[in-house]
Amino acid sequence: MLTPLIQTLRDVAGVKALRDATRGGVNAVAHEFAAASGCGIELHENKLPVNDTVRGVCELLGLDALNFANEGKLLIAVAREAAESVLAHLRSHPLGRDAAIIGEVVPRAGVRSVGLYGVKRTLDLPHAEPLPRIC
């Protein structure tokens, strides 16, 4: 399903890694990227393109949308200087119209979420089985 979108990046310099978030969600993929790179990842909550209905249900039930399986979504690690070019290529395809820069690689290991006022919280991987996908 994502192959046509990924193909738009075939000739774009600066793409370092990409992975779909179908299993484990954004948080799990961010942890994989952090472990593989030896760096940290900071995700900016206000930049995450989360549907308002999903956000509302998560707030109501005390769940974190970062831990949900996200079928049809990609996390892409790119060189900082390539970010805007990659974003433009993604948005040029119908599957990438909501693409956004949601975080950055940082020297400090681990994965953190940065809130609206700059408050950072460490994101651990869930200790329980992931919630099932509802398709």
Q: Is residue 133 part of a domain?
A: no
Q: Is residue 62 part of a domain?
A: yes
Q: Which helix (H) or strand (E) holds 68?
A: none
Q: Which domain holds residue 63?
A: 3-122
Q: Is residue 130 part of a domain?
A: no
Q: Would you say 88 and 22 are in contact if contact means Cβ atoms under 8 Å apart?
A: no
Q: Is residue 89 part of a domain?
A: yes
Q: Is residue 42 part of a domain?
A: yes
CA–CA dist 71, 73 (Å, integer): 6
* DSSP β-ladder status, 40-44 and 110-114: parallel
CATH number of the domain where residue 42 is located: 3.90.650.10
Q: Is residue 127 part of a domain?
A: no
Phi/psi region, residue 65 (left: phi>0; alpha: psi -120 to 50; beta: rest), is alpha
Q: Which helix (H) or strand (E) holds 48?
A: none
pLDDT digits (tens, 9 = 90+) for 10-45: 999 999 999 998 888 999 999 999 999 999 999 999
Q: Is residue 46 part of a domain?
A: yes
Q: Would you say 84 and 47 are in contact if contact means Cβ atoms under 8 Å apart?
A: no
User: What pLDDT, on the 0 to 100 scale, is given for residue 129?
Assistant: 58
Q: Is residue 131 part of a domain?
A: no
Whole-structure pTM value: 0.87
Cα–Cα distances in Å, from 112 out to 13, 59, 63?
27, 19, 16
User: What pLDDT, on the 0 to 100 scale, is given for residue 122?
Assistant: 96
User: In terms of Cα–Cα distance, which of 42, 51, 47, 97 is closest to 70?
Assistant: 51
Local confidence band at 69 (pLDDT 50, 70, 90 cut-offs): confident
Quote the number of domains for the chain: 1
